[in-house]
Amino acid sequence: MGAYANGAAALPGFAPDGSLLTPTPIVELDGMACDNELYVKRDDLIPFSFGGNKARIAQCFFSDALARGCNAIVAYGSTRSNLARVMANGAARMGMPCAVVSPDEADGSRPRSFNAELCARLGAQVHPCQKGEVAQAVEAALDELREQGFRPYYIYGNRFGKGNEATPVQAYVHASREVADWERASGASFDYVFLATGTGMTQAGLLCGNVLTGSSCEVVGISVARSAEAATEHIEGYCRAYLASRGVDVPADLHSRICVSDGFLHGGYGRADAAEQQTIRHAFAHAGMPLDETYVGKGFDGMLRYLRERDICGKRILFLHTGGTPLFFDALDGSEGVVRA
Ligand SMILES: *Cc1c(COP(=O)(O)O)cnc(C)c1O
């Protein structure tokens, strides 16, 4: 098991507990959010596999897998999945086989993506399946690895994707501590944290971090796919699982602390409207900051619209850049030309 012979289960830049050795930078962006002070926490700059929230989450999964004595990975994600790419990369580093159960899009398509390309080149065994066949595909991937003599680890728990909710939440509890440290050092605190929200693992981590530190900062998730109601339910499930695993009481107002907007879906996962694409071009030309159309572009543009729609001004705001850089390059194939301002 090469690099992990001593049980030091850390990807480059990480401690085995999932914290980063060096916190990611928090940089101010001028002139982008009307009369608010806007900062961005650049988790896209985490130094493993193009970074992103999935690098932090992957570290938590690998540590858990090793603690359970597993030596093969079964990941999950569509062709655009950043998590699948980072898990495939981590497994390649550790010399573990990696299978990726990969559902089609809701419309049955399998869009090309650099993430899927990287998964394949990293040697991951991709198991394409329809949305309704995930449990069977997970079971088949686990069986195949067991037959080869491995002890496989499925990142989401059982074949129905339940049972491992607490593990990934830890990733953004750590990140939330980095934000609290920054606030203490700079003597300024954030009124809001915005992020693109999908499965809810990341938002749940930030919320649990707030519970543990007593921070009253409002966390706003811009949904990239789900209705606000469905996203809220998933986030609450992740929070409850994490707090229970730590023996921390669930705050009575947990449900009302979960804020998700589904007002910027633009038709669903992977869809962007012209205004989002314009924001993406502007963010790159003005700030040199890559945003992808599926996640971070939706989150960033959704945040700007959310602030405008609600006349929010004079606040200190943190946008969490959750990565997805390979998807930024996917969009350059389009006729629009992402880098033109
Ligand atoms: C997965 C992902 C998200 C959403 O994170 P969740 O924890 O699934 O809510 C946001 N941004 C990027 C780039 C992602 O890959």
β-bridge partners, 128: 102
Query: From the CB of 201, is ligand 1 less than 6 Å away?
Result: yes
Q: What sections of 151-289 are H helices per DSSP?
A: 166-186, 201-213, 228-245, 254-257, 274-287
Residues of the chain with pLDDT under 70: 1-8, 334-341
Could you tell me how many residues make up the chain? 341
Residue 321 near ligand 1, beta carbon < 6 Å: no
Distance between start and end Cα atoms, the chain: 47
In the chain, how many domains are there? 2
Whose Cα sits closest to atom 15 in ligand 1?
82
Last residue of a domain, one of 133, 154, 175: 154
- Pair (48, 64) in one structural domain: no
114 close to ligand 1 (CB < 6 Angstrom): no
| 150 in the same domain as 217 | no
Distance, in Å, from the CA atom of 328 to the CA atom of 341, rounded to the nearest integer, reads 15
Ligand 1 binding pocket includes 82 (Cβ within 6 Å)? yes
- Does residue 285 form part of some domain? yes
* This prediction's pTM: 0.95
**CA of residue 196 to ligand 1 center, whole Å:** 6
Pocket perturbation via mutation, ligand 1, pick of 60, 76, 78, 82 by most ligand atoms within 8 A of CB: 82
Q: Tell how far the Cα of 149 is from the centroid of ligand 1, in angstroms.
A: 33
The whole-number pLDDT of residue 338 equals 40
Query: Residue 103 falls within a domain, yes or no?
Result: yes
Distance 5 CA to ligand 1 centre (A): 31
Q: Do 201 and 112 share a structural domain?
A: no
Same domain, 134 and 170: no
Nearest CA, atom 13, ligand 1: 324
Within the chain, strands assigned E span 26-29, 37-42, 72-76, 98-103, 125-129, 152-154, 192-197, 218-223, 259-261, 316-321
Residues 125 and 228 occupy one common structural domain = no
166 φψ region: left (φ > 0), alpha (ψ -120 to 50), beta (else): alpha
Do residue 94 and residue 109 come from a single domain? yes
Q: Which pLDDT score, from 0 to 100, does residue 2 have?
A: 43
Residues 182 and 284 both lie in one domain: yes
Q: What is the pLDDT of residue 34?
A: 75
Find out whether the beta carbon of 290 lies less than 6 Å from any atom of ligand 1: no
Is residue 261 part of the annotated active site? The answer reads no
Same domain, 299 and 207: yes
Residues 264 and 192 in one domain: yes
**117/188 same-domain check:** no
Range of 274's domain?
Answer: 26-54+165-333
Domain boundary among 129, 154, 179: 154
Contact of 15 with 21, CB cutoff 8 Å? yes
| The domain boundary residue, chosen from 95, 122, 154 | 154
Quick one: 217 and 286 in the same domain? Answer: yes
Q: Identify the active-site residue in 81, 113, 176, 261.
A: 81
Angle at the Cα of 66 (from 65 to 72), degrees rounded to 5? Answer: 60
CATH of residue 72's domain is 3.40.50.1100
Scanning the structure block, which residue is given the tokens 């390059």? 329
Ligand 1 centroid to residue 6 C-alpha, Å: 31
Q: What are the C-alpha distances in Å from 135 to residues 88, 132, 154, 155?
A: 20, 8, 11, 13
199 Cβ below 6 A of ligand 1: yes
